[in-house]
């Protein structure tokens, strides 16, 4: 009977360890170690775990420059962050889950912010022309997004968080904002609210169209009044300004009794604005919000929400882009729409 293999003692070398160093410590061939470190599916998981553990103990770091010369790849994924994006729990969750998928596949994630007032193509052109990454993730998409058009024309692998209205197919992962807005408005109607208002996304973004479609469909079906805000209200608006507008609106006497809000932080400002006007959130007006974090779980009075799983979104973005890079599936099959999860807390 063959004795089980005994783990070898690992001593950190004085010089920079190589694949050969790791292979000798594991008692495996260099090619096996290389494939294990790259999570090759034909290498047993136990072997991959052991090789990774030994590599970490030895302080082995892949020579990405050398590997890039051999393979023509950078093994980098670039996440392009919109100008003025807030690093909130929303952004952190996407970066964390996307980064985990990339790491497990042997890629590194680089977050690249767009520069305010730059041409919107500046960052993606730099990445493509200088081959700074093997694939790009972009968000905050518009119906005729120039970044998407450029990447399609140049045949560069990418996935969008959000959809466009371009004729050419492209990989995307999106939340079903249309269904969310319809569900939220329906919920307010069920609770007897008659005059509804939507606080949505900037008008330039595709998902604002989706929000409006779902909201207006519910308004028509339930025979409700749709109240237009005194000025466009979007999630890009500073919270203190949004709070002030809501306060003035509710003091005017021409206020909604139900609000659909497309974001956690906006909801906090809306409820504070209602309170500032001397009214009671939940009684004088109800809010149903999209929820992307645990913050809404602690709001008082309690409110209804529809949950958007941002961690799942980051995972799907990473998985989709890696499939695109490897050519596993055609682009037209790489589209995911994540359904809202109702969290209706009120009786």
What token pair was written down for 193? Answer: 């609210």
Is the domain of 328 the same as that of 221?
no
Same domain, 188 and 303: yes
Residue 129 lies in a domain: yes
**Are 280 and 316 found together in one domain?**
no
Are 126 and 212 members of one domain? no
Burial class (CB within 10 angstroms; exposed 0-12, middle 13-18, buried 19+) of 20: exposed
* Domain finish residue from 61, 91, 117: 61
Domain with 215 in it: 177-307
Q: Does one domain contain both 206 and 275?
A: yes
Residue 8 within any structural domain of the chain: no
Are 215 and 297 found together in one domain? yes
Stretch 204-223: mean pLDDT, rounded? 97
Check whether residue 76 and residue 44 sit in a common domain.
no
Cβ density class 164-195: b for 16+ within 10 Å, e for less:
beeeeebbbbbbbbbbbbbbbbbbbbeeebeb
Same domain, 115 and 166: yes
Count of domains for the chain? 3
Q: What are phi and psi of 173, to 5 degrees?
A: -130, 130
Query: Over the chain, what is the mean pLDDT?
Result: 88
Q: Kindly report the CATH number assigned to the domain that includes residue 146.
A: 3.40.50.2300
Are residue 78 and residue 149 in the same domain, yes or no?
Answer: yes
Determine the pLDDT at residue 63.
62
Determine how β-strand 341-343 pairs with β-strand 335-338. unpaired
pLDDT mean over 101-117: 87
Q: Based on the fold, state whether residues 185 and 302 are members of the same structural domain.
A: yes
Domain-ending residue, one of 6, 31, 61: 61
pLDDT tens per residue, range 42-74: 888 889 889 888 988 888 876 654 454 444 578
Q: Residue 1 has what pLDDT?
A: 47
**Chain segment 9-44, per-residue pLDDT in tens:** 555 555 778 878 888 999 998 778 888 887 777 888
What's the whole-model pTM score?
0.80
DSSP 114: P
């Amino acid at each position: 009977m063959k004795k089980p293999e005994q783990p070898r003692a690992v001593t950190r070398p004085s010089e920079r360890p190589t694949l050969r160093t790791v292979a000798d410590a594991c008692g495996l061939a260099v090619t096996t170690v290389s494939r294990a470190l790259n999570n090759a599916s034909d290498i047993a998981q136990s072997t991959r775990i052991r090789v990774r553990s030994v590599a970490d103990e030895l302080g082995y770091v892949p020579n990405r420059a050398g590997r890039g010369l051999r393979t023509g790849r950078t093994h980098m994924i670039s996440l392009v962050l919109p100008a003025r994006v807030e690093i909130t729990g929303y952004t952190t969750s996407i970066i964390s889950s996307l980064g985990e998928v990339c790491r497990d596949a042997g890629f590194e994630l680089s977050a690249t912010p767009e520069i305010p007032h730059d041409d919107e193509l500046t960052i993606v052109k730099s990445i493509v022309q200088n081959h700074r990454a093997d694939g790009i993730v972009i968000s905050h998409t518009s119906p005729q997004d120039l970044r998407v058009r450029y990447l399609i024309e140049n045949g560069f692998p990418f996935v969008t968080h959000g959809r466009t209205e371009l004729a050419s197919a492209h990989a995307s992962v999106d939340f079903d904002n249309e269904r969310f807005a319809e569900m939220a408005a329906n919920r307010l109607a069920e609770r007897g609210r008659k005059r509804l208002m939507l606080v949505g996304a900037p008008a330039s973004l595709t998902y604002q169209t989706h929000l409006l479609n779902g909201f207006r469909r519910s308004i028509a079906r339930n025979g409700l009044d749709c109240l237009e805000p005194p000025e466009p209200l979007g999630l890009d608006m500073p919270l203190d300004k949004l709070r002030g507008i809501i306060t003035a609106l509710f003091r005017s006497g021409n206020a909604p009794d139900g609000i659909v809000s497309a974001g956690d932080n906006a909801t906090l400002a809306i409820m504070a604005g209602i309170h500032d006007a001397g009214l009671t959130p939940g009684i004088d007006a109800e809010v149903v919000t999209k929820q992307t974090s645990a913050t809404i779980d602690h709001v008082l009075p309690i409110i209804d929400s529809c949950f958007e799983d941002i961690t799942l979104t980051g995972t799907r973005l990473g998985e989709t882009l890696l499939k695109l890079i490897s050519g596993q599936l055609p682009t037209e099959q790489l589209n995911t729409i994540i359904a809202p999860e109702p969290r209706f807390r009120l009786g």
